[in-house]
Amino acid sequence: MLYFIDVPRRNFNSFRDSLLWQYATLAMADIAVSREDVEYGRLHYAVRSSLYAKFIGGDMQPRPLAVEEKLKLRLPACCAYCGGSKHLSIDHLIPLHRGGEDCGENYVLACRRCNSSKGCKDVVQWLAERGELPTIFLYRRYLKLCLEYARQQGLLELPLDQLPDNMPFAVESTMIHYGPPNRIKHWVVPCGNEPSDSEK
């Protein structure tokens, strides 16, 4: 079974630093996928390092979840996991039973089959069981939800080994090896005009 955990990585001082590193990794992947690069190279790693430094230094921060909500309205209505368009219902990306919130930012559309197969599993782990990586748009929402949860719970400054066990998401899922870029898509179905950089 493929599981894409990328450990050991770096020695992060806090969960915040680890999440921001992964967010910078996601931005790197976004660029690579947009350019149709088949693997990461020096340019991509330089972009990630630069972004990460800006996040850590406070010069930049991930854009709010509202950006993902705007994007959701523009994407084709389909299952966020398989792209199917039949028997769609609302799924909680971070399951309610694990402590995910019952709010719009945590809603995605899912077909009946994916919804019942995913159940209460962490979405990244569930996809990994199927040999899949989350799409860029899905993973960006997921990471932002994790960041927001950690912020609300006061967990951001904790070292990774002091995080509680009962988190609504798998901490390992915020550390996956996200690539190679030719295995990643922006979204489950082609979505025409990609949003501009300012909307990410």
Binding site for Zn ion (CB under 5 A): 79, 81-82, 84, 111, 114
Q: How far is the CB of 67 from Zn ion (least distance, A)?
A: 24
Complex with Zn ion: residue 28 or 79, whichever CB lies closer: 79
Contacts of 31-39 spanning 24+ positions with Cβ under 8 A: 32/179, 32/181, 32/184, 33/136, 33/181, 33/184, 33/185, 33/186, 34/186, 34/194, 36/182, 37/181, 37/182, 38/180, 38/181, 38/182, 39/179, 39/180, 39/181, 39/182
The Cα 179–Cα 45 span in angstroms is 13
CA of residue 75 relative to chain centroid, distance? 17
Complex with Zn ion: residue 29 or 111, whichever CB lies closer: 111
Q: How far is the CB of 74 from Zn ion (least distance, A)?
A: 20
Complex with Zn ion: residue 47 or 82, whichever CB lies closer: 82
Using the Cα atoms of residue 59, residue 64, residue 70 and residue 71 in order, give the sign of their dihedral.
positive
Complex with Zn ion: residue 159 or 190, whichever CB lies closer: 190
Q: How far is the CB of 159 from Zn ion (least distance, A)?
A: 37
The Cα 176–Cα 136 span in angstroms is 13
Complex with Zn ion: residue 27 or 93, whichever CB lies closer: 93
Q: How far is the CB of 81 from Zn ion (least distance, A)?
A: 5
Q: How far is the CB of 84 from Zn ion (least distance, A)?
A: 4
Question: Token pair of 105, please?
Answer: 């930012």
Phi-psi region of 78 (alpha: psi -120 to 50; beta: other; left: phi over 0): beta
Complex with Zn ion: residue 65 or 188, whichever CB lies closer: 188
Q: How far is the CB of 123 from Zn ion (least distance, A)?
A: 12
